[in-house]
Amino acid sequence: MNEDVFNTSIRKFLKQVGVTSQREIEKSVREAVAQGRLKSGEKLPAKMTLTIGQLDLTFVVDADIEIG
């Protein structure tokens, strides 16, 4: 296994996940604030699940996103 190729591929995947996830969260939060469904100071419980079926891997991250 080529460690450099593997590491670069993982980083590329995680960058895509991070950038696209942030964009979608920001868009949804802005819409909810504009519609009055969210207020400053609220916390949004969030969950991200990573699955790789071929490896039988499921990894869950739970965290709060604060609306400033």
Question: How does DSSP classify residue 68?
Answer: -
AA letter at 23? R
Amino acid letter, residue 9: S
Q: What is the pLDDT of residue 12?
A: 98
Task: Check residue 21 and give its pLDDT.
Answer: 97
Question: Other C-beta atoms within 10 Å of 50: how many?
Answer: 12
Q: Convert the pLDDT of each residue in 15-67 to its tens digit.
A: 999 999 999 999 999 999 999 999 989 999 999 999 999 999 999 999 999 99
pLDDT of residue 1: 94
**SS3 track for 7-27:** HHHHHHHHHHHHHHHHHHHHH
pLDDT of 68 above 90: no
pTM: 0.85
For position 48, what pLDDT does the model report?
Answer: 97
